[in-house]
Amino acid sequence: MNYKKRILVTGGAGFIGSHVIRLMVHKYPEYLIVNLDKLTYAGNLENLKDVEHLSNYRFVKGDITDASFMKQVFEDHDITDVIHLAAESHVDRSIEGPMDFVMTNVVGTVNLLQCARDKWEGSKDHVFHHVSTDEVYGSLGETGLFEETTPYDPRSPYSASKASSDHFVNAFYHTYGLPVKLSNCSNNYGSHQFPEKLIPLMINNILNEKPLPVYGNGANIRDWLWVVDHASAIDVIFHKGRIGESYNVGGLNEWTNLNLVHYLCDLMDQKLGREKGASRKLITFVTDRKGHDMRYAIDASKIESELGWTPSITFEEGLDKTVDWYLNNRAWVESITSGEYTEYYKNMYDER
Ligand code: NAD
Ligand code: TYD
């Protein structure tokens, strides 16, 4: 088959990557989508069961830090474009052990940039889309929003590794003319998110009537976006964004952690037929995260005015869908929360 593009999507078995792949394989049958993933604790091929039979989808298991292997992948599949999502993504894990974050997020990204540069040297019409986070901008006070021009000020090992990768992406654009695009998105939520992140962790614990660990006093603020809307933003930036530019992605949707947990408790009490207020009783204030960023909030006016992208649904609608998905997919949560994950969390909570 003579595909119009042969896109390498890294980290496609993870949370956001699986949504990006689902969107791309259906919307663009004229593209070959090659999902390259190491299948760490966070990567799960169950996330892609519904698309794995499609002829324009391929899966390759591998590690983006492996230079010779990645070079071969670019050759074997004649890769024309990259959407790079593979990363170590959880802040608490980065605090426990930063080195995996340096390896995958920094070394792995530079390795991919080198492969793309070698492969595309002397030819045109390629895109290397690097998917990053708003956490590279640091932490906001009570007012203000992150803009694309906000100076980088990463404060956790996770955000430092992502900031470093962003700098390398820009350096490859300026130094070698590699056709890069960057997106920096706020916190995502939705189906298939590993239940170590706030929203799926709370949903799972409410369901199982386990304590709901709120860090510090719960006043920290995050700006939440439905993962399907993030995938559509990536699609728009990949196709229409300008080379060498960064785009912030977010939905003007700030919530304190405590208000969000209250909302989830009340929503789930309703859905599970529990007495009003029952789940709120599970809230447990625990030791704060080290160096906990206070507030994130995105100014997404550039992607809106330049590329016409806006979120498709409200937070309330998105949370409703998300809770329903977790309630209807309990076996998914059980299968991925065995093994390494259980060990990690046992140790983590023992320290508190
Ligand atoms: P995730 O942890 O769910 O998935 C990461 C995927 O990368 C997994 O499938 C994992 O197996 C794979 N991976 C990890 N190390 C690898 C390696 N060395 N080689 C190949 N594959 C490897 O992460 P996510 O939440 O889906 O995030 C995806 C990307 O989006 C990341 O780059 C993250 O920084 C960024 N991002 C995430 C959010 C969010 O709220 N989750 C927000 C903004 C940006
Ligand atoms: P998280 O989902 O880990 O995303 P990030 O740290 O990348 O923003 O956490 C979101 C917020 O929720 C953050 O302020 C930390 C807080 N949090 C809790 O209060 N309890 C928890 O168990 C977790 C995982 C997070």
Q: How far is CA 162 from CA 85, 157, 169, 295, in A?
A: 11, 9, 11, 18
- Kindly state if the Cβ of 91 falls inside 6 Å of ligand 2: yes
In this predicted model, what pLDDT tens digit does every residue of 179-235 receive, in sequence order?
999 999 999 999 999 999 999 999 999 999 999 999 999 999 999 999 999 999 999
Task: Assess whether 134 carries a catalytic annotation.
Answer: yes
Q: What is the mean pLDDT of residues 118-140?
A: 97
What three-state secondary structure class fits 191? coil
pLDDT of residue 350: 42
Write the DSSP symbol of residue 285.
E
pLDDT of residue 182: 98
Q: 191: alpha, beta or left, given left = phi > 0 and alpha = psi -120 to 50?
A: beta
What pTM was estimated for this model as a whole? 0.97
| Of 335, 350, 340, 339, nearest in space to 44 by CA | 335
In this predicted model, what pLDDT tens digit does every residue of 276-329 receive, in sequence order?
999 999 999 999 999 999 999 999 999 999 999 999 999 999 999 999 999 999
Phi and psi dihedrals of 131, rounded to 5? -95, 115
State the closest ligand 2 atom to the C-alpha of 89, by its place in the atom list counted from 1: 7
- Kindly state if the Cβ of 136 falls inside 6 Å of ligand 2: no
State the closest ligand 1 atom to the C-alpha of 104, by its place in the atom list counted from 1: 18
List Cβ neighbours of 25 (8 Å cut-off, separation of 6 or more).
31, 33, 51, 54, 56, 57
Q: Dmax over Cα atoms in the chain, in whole Å?
A: 66
Over pLDDT 70: what percentage of the chain?
96
Q: Where do the domains of the chain lie, and which CATH numbers do they carry?
A: 5-188+224-249 (3.40.50.720), 190-222+254-291+314-344 (3.90.25.10)
122: tokens are: 């002397």
Q: How far is CA 323 from CA 106, 252, 259, 265, 307, in A?
A: 34, 21, 16, 11, 31
Of the candidates 135, 223, 229, 254, the residue annotated as catalytic is 135
pLDDT of residue 342: 59
Mutate to test the pocket of ligand 2, among 198, 283, 288 (most ligand atoms within 8 A of CB): 198
Write the DSSP symbol of residue 146.
B
Among the bound ligands, the one closest to the CA of 15: 1
Q: What is the mean pLDDT of residues 239-245?
A: 98
pLDDT of residue 349 exceeding 60, the answer is: no
Among the bound ligands, the one closest to the CA of 190: 1
Among the bound ligands, the one closest to the CA of 133: 1
pLDDT of residue 336: 86
pLDDT of residue 338: 76
Task: Assess whether 340 carries a catalytic annotation.
Answer: no
Task: Assess whether 135 carries a catalytic annotation.
Answer: yes
Q: What is the mean pLDDT of residues 149-178?
A: 98
pLDDT of residue 351 exceeding 90, the answer is: no
pLDDT of residue 341: 58
Phi and psi dihedrals of 58, rounded to 5? -135, 145
- Top pLDDT among 352 and 178 is at 178
Q: What is the mean pLDDT of residues 36-62?
A: 96
Over pLDDT 90: what percentage of the chain?
94
264 confidence band (pLDDT: 50, 70, 90): very high
- Kindly state if the Cβ of 300 falls inside 6 Å of ligand 1: no
Q: Are 184 and 133 in contact (CB under 8 A)?
A: yes
How many Å apart are CA 141 and CA 59, to the nearest integer? 43
1 confidence band (pLDDT: 50, 70, 90): confident
pLDDT of residue 195: 96
pLDDT of residue 337: 81
347 confidence band (pLDDT: 50, 70, 90): low
198-207 vs 315-328: helix crossing angle, rounded to 10: 50
pLDDT of residue 100: 98
Average pLDDT, the chain: 96
pLDDT of residue 309: 98
